[in-house]
Amino acid sequence: MKLQTEKMLVEKAGTSIVLLDGSARFQRMPESELWDLFRAGDEAAFHYLYITYFPILFTYGHQFTPDRELVKDVIQDLFIYLKEKRHTLGPTTAIKFYLYTAYRRRIVRYLSQKKHNCEDAKGAINAGFDIALSQESFIVDQTTHEEYKQKLEHAFNVLTPRQREVIIYYFYEDFSYEEIASLMGFSKVQYARIQVSRSIAKLRKVLGKFA
């Protein structure tokens, strides 16, 4: 099975979304209902999911590796798998989290195969997760002066890649502690809370009087 039509539309559109006629109904639909339609074999629902989440997963994938073709191939393979197994998939009320979890697990495996060992794969992952300051509205607003932005950028760079990953999930993606723990493979939700707390404390320490 191929997804070339959908893939070409996404690549041609870049980060924009190309939607089929009538797809506006999916935008107003609860995620659980949309997912159930996809699981039941609705081709329009599948197309909507693919076109909507391809650019999101593409951006996410670049946090793990700069290899654009690998990032796209993993997305392609993930959606092929989901379509083939859709009748056996469980329900979800959070599609992006579901796809992030599946994609993260899959790209780690691909990186392990490409790098020939898990340590190299982990190294590739831990080199990523850059934070764009313009997206971090929880700290920076339009009136923030340049000195503060430079200090904040330095503070983010001081964080470990894993701490930056936690910050992205918690503040930018708005994932819960439970979701972060599941996504990052923590054995206890408490570990996600600790990671978030330590990351924020580290930011505040570096920011000094501005925090």
Distance spanning both ends of the chain, measured CA to CA:
52
Neighbouring C-alpha atoms within 13 Å toward the C-beta of 178: 2
Largest CA distance in the chain: 57
User: Where are the domains positioned within the chain?
Assistant: 4-125, 129-210
pLDDT tens-digit series, residues 14-45: 434 445 555 788 988 999 999 999 999 999 99
User: What pLDDT score does 135 carry?
Assistant: 43
pLDDT tens-digit series, residues 68-88: 999 999 999 999 999 999 999
Size (the chain), residues: 211
The owner of tokens 């391809």 is: 54
Q: What is the mean pLDDT of the chain?
A: 80
61-87 burial code (b ≥16 CB/10 A, e <16): bebbbebeebbbebbbebbeebbeebe
Residue 26 to residue 170: CA distance in whole angstroms: 26
User: What pLDDT score does 2 carry?
Assistant: 45
Residues contacting 63, CB < 8 A, separation 6+: 128, 129, 130, 165, 168
- Residue 137 pLDDT > 50: no
CATH number for region 129-210? 1.10.10.10
Question: What average pLDDT does the segment 83-108 reach?
Answer: 95
CATH class (in words) of the domain with range 4-125: mainly alpha
**Tell me, what DSSP letter sits at residue 159?**
S
User: What pLDDT score does 18 carry?
Assistant: 47
Neighbouring C-alpha atoms within 13 Å toward the C-beta of 137: 5
User: What pLDDT score does 153 carry?
Assistant: 76
Residue 13's pLDDT band (cuts 50, 70, 90): very low
